[in-house]
Amino acid sequence: MKKKNTLKKTLTKNNKELVKKCMDTFVKNRVNKRLSSFDKNVYELNKMNPSTKYINEMKKLKKQLPKLETASNKLYYCNINCKDTILEPGSPDYIPESLLKPYKNDKDSIMSDLFKKQRKEIFKNKKNVLVDNFYEGISTKIKNKLIKEGAISKCTIWPEMK
């Protein structure tokens, strides 16, 4: 019995190391690319002489962007078993609580129905649509590219943006 606990701790430690490596390589590169792209767009907008209010909004957004990008990239590309996403393994009727959390105060929220419909379309009669932590519908070319860049999962059905 002691070996099982040790094995579980080892797997957890390996998972944490995988996630850390993914964060240090893939996510860091993605966030840096996004920030440089954002800077280029802001530079182009500044040439058009936008209002001061708009420029201030862009500055606020730039401060928030690294945190938002890091969180979303970690969730979609450094997430073993796609936990807390629409692709989390389970019944097609199961909706991860974390998806509904932002909408819990909305009494007339249609998000629960939307997520159920989406999961049923994706999962059909399956309980898992992941192959090696990547959505099964992903092309081999994109999967290999993501792995080469340092991703350990792809927890979204949306195609890659350039």
* Total count of domains within the chain: 2
Could you tell me the pTM of the whole model? 0.80
Q: What is the pLDDT of residue 49?
A: 72
pLDDT tens column, 131-149? 999 999 999 999 999 999 9
* Domain housing 146: 81-162
Domain boundary among 58, 78, 98: 78
Helix%, strand%, coil% for the chain, nearest 5 = 65, 5, 30
pLDDT tens column, 88-113? 999 998 888 888 888 877 766 788 88
pLDDT tens column, 13-66? 788 999 999 999 999 999 999 998 888 887 777 777 777 777 788 888 889 999
Across all residues in the chain, what is the average pLDDT? 85
Quick one: 65 and 31 in the same domain?
A: yes
